[in-house]
Amino acid sequence: MDLLMPGSLDLRENYVHQLQQTINAYLPTHRYVGEALQNALDAVRDTGGGRHEISIEFDFASQEVRIRDDGPGFPNDPRLLFLGGGRKVGRGLAGLVGVGLKVLLFSTEYFQLRAKSDSGSLRFSIQDAHLFSDGSAAIALDLDEQGLFKPDPEPLSSGTELVYRFPRLENGKSVQVQYLRDVRADCLKANSLEHAFGETLSNARDQGDFPNRFAALIGVHLLRYTYLGLTVVPEELSETTVSISMKGFDSEENVGELAALSDGQSECSFNLAPHYFDVDEAVKWSPRNRRRPVLTDKELANGGRGLARTDLGFNRTTYSSPEEFELLLTNARGELSGDFQTYRARLWHRINSIALTVGRIKEFESYLPGGAAHTFSANGVVTKHDVEFNRGQNQQYVRCFDINVDVQAELNYGKTQFTDMHLVGLLRRFLNDAYATTIQYAAANFVGKLRSVSEPTEDAFLTRPDLESDLTQKKIPRDENDVIALTFELAGMGYFQDYRWYGLSSKDTYDARAVIRRSSDAESILTETPHEGALRVVEFKLRAGSIARDFNREEKDPRRLDLIISYDLGESALPDQYQILSLDNSTFSKIPGRVFPGVTHVIYDALSGVEVQVLLLRPMIARIFAPPEPGVLPDEVQDE
């Protein structure tokens, strides 16, 4: 059976494209270990609870992972290896339609599945499935005469075992490299391994919970950024142990600079239980001969009162009923504020619980991987939704609290977002009302006065680096206004010949409108009088990658935006959904006539498939004002 032919031959190209789109929607962490781990957790839940063990083996030298569970066993149904071939909705599981297994399979150079169920055993393996996008060779599955998986010659005692190995790809595209890069970025934030959270990793090792700092880093990341980090642990998983063994992590060739955290070990093992890592656990690792944060659980009284200034500590509270949710909307006069009537009618019944921790910024950075976070979770599974706080007078306190709102919701294929975006909008409104009413004041009372971000400041101009050019703007751009000024100065010098600008706007959702002539357009497009709908939508950014946050907050829509003009490319704020691609790696490489002049990159939305073109000013200016090479005449002299 060919896994790239779910139907007729005519569907093959479309199916391959759909597979690639689906894989792009998944985080490297989910592909490397998350999806297989989630399937194991779901298998255990399917058994109805009791004592269970899931084992994970990481071999960082060979980039191979082995995961085994003692659940009911993978069914003998090859159709489950096609997209849409399985469905988990209504079974109380984390997965939606069983997509993750296919994402994993088609990311590997070797994939083997063994299982033992009441109906018998099975075993199959697949080589080089990651080459599926070539579309030339079949991804073949060897089945028996009845079209089923063949029996395992050495059957497991029970459950399912996955063994998979990732290909070694260049330019940092290996799944293992991307995974470890995300682990470091999520937990340590800074470039240095000596980041504040590094001390907590040392404490975890010294207390004996982990054999070395690398193991502590991987363990904490699993408990904060994967399905193992459940904010609400279902009863079926309450007695489940996840045993983890690792090897090959002491070599920079295998794990990069993280090898410094191996503490001289090359192999190790440790155990975890499903739960969400919080400050309580991190504080317990602190040495007793040093100052340790005080942990309190005082309720936020009216208007956020009830918390007193604390020298070193965290205050943790949990809200689990509509009456308790409304405490977060009760002002200093004891009155409910915000849109509480709407929340009563449409939101309270969807919320399972709210966990709120208040503390200082530096202490969060020391005791939580990545510092304080503001997250939503679907029945315990934490998402990647961004929560923007734009209400309240004291925005400096936004980083002084960690909050998770767990709701009854379904996740998208990549399990990074809810499928119900109206629910997301309602949750964001509620949290902003809660912050403006109680949380900002509670944080101020607990940590003391912070400098207000609204206090007047003076920017420095003369100390900025020089823009080495003959432009009237002498300094390198620092914000969006600089980018706009540069663009129009270059336009005035004749470097945007194929652009006709029709104005900027501070009232519109997007910055500007223009007519832009592409190579496929007639010259007359620049002289004809356009109608409003024919104008191209343009957005200016200091760094193009920052637009990802606007997309995620739904402040901007990639489907409405034609072009981003920025000084630098930067990095995507949400690189797994909104990816920065060179023009050669985009769909525009096949249709160059649709490319706007000067464009070199695109921002690609992996969920919708939309690509927004990007024009960069920095390389453009470097080319324009580059000194001539010796012996090469300027363009105008050559023309004569």
* The pLDDT of residue 101 is above 90: no
- How sure is the predictor about 331, in pLDDT bands with cuts at 50, 70 and 90? very high
In this structure, of 70-79, 81-90, 160-169, 575-584, the range with the lowest mean pLDDT score is 81-90
Q: Which residue has the higher pLDDT, 207 or 20?
A: 207
Task: Assess if CATH 3.55.50 describes domain 9-272.
Answer: no
What pLDDT was estimated at residue 47?
A: 87
The mean pLDDT value for 532-546 works out to 93
Q: Which amino acid appears at position 331 of this protein?
A: N
Q: Which amino acid appears at position 319 of this protein?
A: Y
In this structure, of 126-130, 280-284, 307-311, 456-460, the range with the lowest mean pLDDT score is 456-460
- How sure is the predictor about 452, in pLDDT bands with cuts at 50, 70 and 90? low
In this structure, of 45-59, 84-98, 152-166, 354-368, the range with the lowest mean pLDDT score is 84-98
* The pLDDT of residue 589 is above 80: yes
Q: Where in the chain is the domain with CATH 3.30.565?
A: 9-272
What pLDDT was estimated at residue 438?
A: 95
Distances 294 to 273, 310, 316, 399 between C-alpha atoms, Å: 25, 8, 11, 19
What pLDDT was estimated at residue 499?
A: 97
CA gyration radius, the chain: 27
* The pLDDT of residue 618 is above 70: yes
The mean pLDDT value for 278-284 works out to 95
In this structure, of 111-115, 135-139, 144-148, 590-594, the range with the lowest mean pLDDT score is 135-139
The mean pLDDT value for 290-311 works out to 89
In this structure, the number of other CB atoms found within 10 A of the CB of residue 461 comes to 9
The mean pLDDT value for 341-365 works out to 96
Instruction: Express as a percent the part of the chain with pLDDT over 70.
Output: 92
- How sure is the predictor about 291, in pLDDT bands with cuts at 50, 70 and 90? confident
Provide the greatest CA pair distance for the chain. Answer: 86
In this structure, the number of other CB atoms found within 10 A of the CB of residue 121 comes to 18
pLDDT tens digit sequence for 498-509: 999 999 998 889
Determine the Cα angle at 451 with ends 429 and 302, to 5°.
45
Distances 16 to 22, 106, 107, 130 between C-alpha atoms, Å: 10, 10, 13, 11
